[in-house]
Structure 1
Amino acid sequence: MHLIRENIASLYEQIASLLREEIQQGRFEPTGKLPSEAALCLRFGVSRVTVRLALARLEQEGTVARKQGKGTYAAGKQLRHGLDQLRSFHESLLQQGLQAGMRLLSREIVDAPGGALSVMGDEDGRCLRLLRLHLLDGAPLAVGRSYLPLLMDAADRERMERTPSYAILQELTGQAVARADLAIKVGQADAELAPALEVVEGAPLLVMERSSYFADGACCDRSQFYIRPERYEFVIKTSFAQAGG
């Protein structure tokens, strides 16, 4: 599309119209994230003021939502975590075609919460506590606080930053995670979470609590995921059973 360069009002209206059309066509799927202001300036050959006017128009009409420090997104576009599928938090992001990453914040040996994990093999009831930051397009999305069998300490830092816990557990034990119990609630960012998530202490968070088990019933993972709620939602598919005649 060639812009008609009559005046600044004409330019930003044309850019807004084109971006609106591209959003409706699904061009920015799967995340709904639009290019950065700098990229749009380069694409259209206009100033940042003009681009900001175009985005402000789209935001005013409800076509986009602008998140400070995260970018501009097609309105209503949410990251989704299906509760009806057994999948790790990291895998749920990758399955949506997203640029997801993990960063290890801390690892330490601690007392297992609520008693020893069934497969950790430590007589003193200890386990490995991991704190990992989940990133989306390089920006913080969630912190995972996981209590895992002590044998997980054999995995090096690089592996813990690129591989979900479920995959490491299967590699080390030869067993796949068979089921998980999940609970969703609302929480707040504490002094440990707030800096990692780049929010103020006390900011509201979504919290997913997960206990995972092998086929023999042994508990192999207890985790809490503290999630920035702006664009994240949990979904589950259900259907009505057909009544018998």
Structure 2
Amino acid sequence: MPVDSSALIEEDDGRVTALPLARGQGVAAWRQIADEIEADIAAGRLAPGAQLPTEAKLAARFAVNRHTVRRAIAVLAAKGLLRATQGRGTFVEAKPLAYPIGRRTRFTEIVTREGHEAGGELISAVETAADEHVASILRIAVGAPVLETEMRRFVDGTPVSFGTSFFPLPRFAGMAAALRDTGSITRALAACGVPDYMRAETRISARLATVEDAARLDLSPGRILLVVDGVNVDAAGVPIQATRAFFAADRVELRVAG
């Protein structure tokens, strides 16, 4: 039995009006609620980025308990239609961002060009010794000092990726401070004397999100992540960054430039 979908978004003068569900027809209440919300999203009645009412309000609206509502939301989150954020609420996922990868791949430029606001957060930065893999990519000696950074990136406040990068030292001794100040790898590299750089190599794979991944990206565990391994070089062709980034597959559409 269809319900008035607009009532999911606004209340009448602050009153909570129960909306009927079809009972005794073999369709679980949580499934009916999930179907109604999904139909609203498909029809555009719930726009990308829209916030759903709280679990308590939805439970009152459908005359069910909060566990039933929570299960409906979990199913839609697993399908990539909703994003449940601890302490903030539940939101309709935005359409995937077109993210081209080519010789010049710049996160902030790409996001801004698509009409969105880009953001970056430095999670950690530590000096460590290059292992054999990192040393081979950066063309430095095994055990040479490198700066290992972890960053998380946002589009309109929603986390879309996180990743780890390695920068050779002492050349990029000021990289951590620049990343904290700017939240941008491009601007931080410029602050360290590299005004321009190119992507020398990109490899793309995929894996399922772990519990830790899900927490970083506000995802349900088990969702698909796109894994992008890249090597950036300066104008002279010298490797300056070895990076591995994890993108939420439902939020970013990677496009490899020809």
Structure 1 and Structure 2 fold alike (TM over 0.5)? yes
Q: 1:125 to 1:108 in 2, by over 3 A?
A: closer
The answer to whether residue 188 in structure 2 is matched with residue 186 in structure 1 is no
Return closer, same or farther for 1:208/1:153 CA change in 2, 3 Å cut-off: same
Corresponding residue number in structure 1 for 2:174:
154
Over the residues paired in the alignment, what is the CA RMSD in angstroms? Answer: 4.9
Q: Which amino acid aligns with 1:34?
A: A
Give the Cα separation in 2 of the matches to 1:51 and 1:126: 59
- CA deviation digits over 1:97-134, x for unaligned, max 9? 1353323234323216133735x8x9963221111122
Conserved 8 A contact 1:109-1:126: yes
Which of 98, 101, 124 is the matching residue for 2:120?
A: 101
State whether residues 205 and 228 of structure 2, in contact with CA within 8 Å, keep that contact through their aligned partners in structure 1: yes
Which residue is 2:98 aligned to? Answer: 80
Specify whether residues 193 and 235 from structure 1 end up closer, same or farther in structure 2 by C-alpha distance, changes over 3 A only: same
Identify which range, 221-230 or 84-93, moves more after superposition.
84-93
Which letter maps to 1:107? Answer: V
Aligned partners of 1:161 and 1:80: how far apart in 2? 27
The TM-score with structure 1 as length reference comes to 0.62
Q: Bigger shift: 207-216 or 82-91?
A: 82-91
CA-to-aligned-CA distance 1:53-95 (integer Å, 9 cap, x gap): 9x98xx99xxx922333843368x2122112462234543344
TM-score computed with the length of structure 2 as normaliser: 0.60
Identity %: 16
Q: Give unmatched runs, 5+ long, in structure 1.
A: 11-15, 39-46, 239-245
Instruction: Tell me the secondary structure at the aligned position of residue 180 of structure 2.
Output: helix
196-205 or 166-175: bigger deviation: 196-205
| Equivalent position to 2:130, from 89, 92, 111 | 111
1:215 to 235, 238, 241: 235
Residue equivalent to 2:153: 134
Structure 2: state its 5+ residue gaps: 1-5, 21-36, 64-68
Aligned length: 217
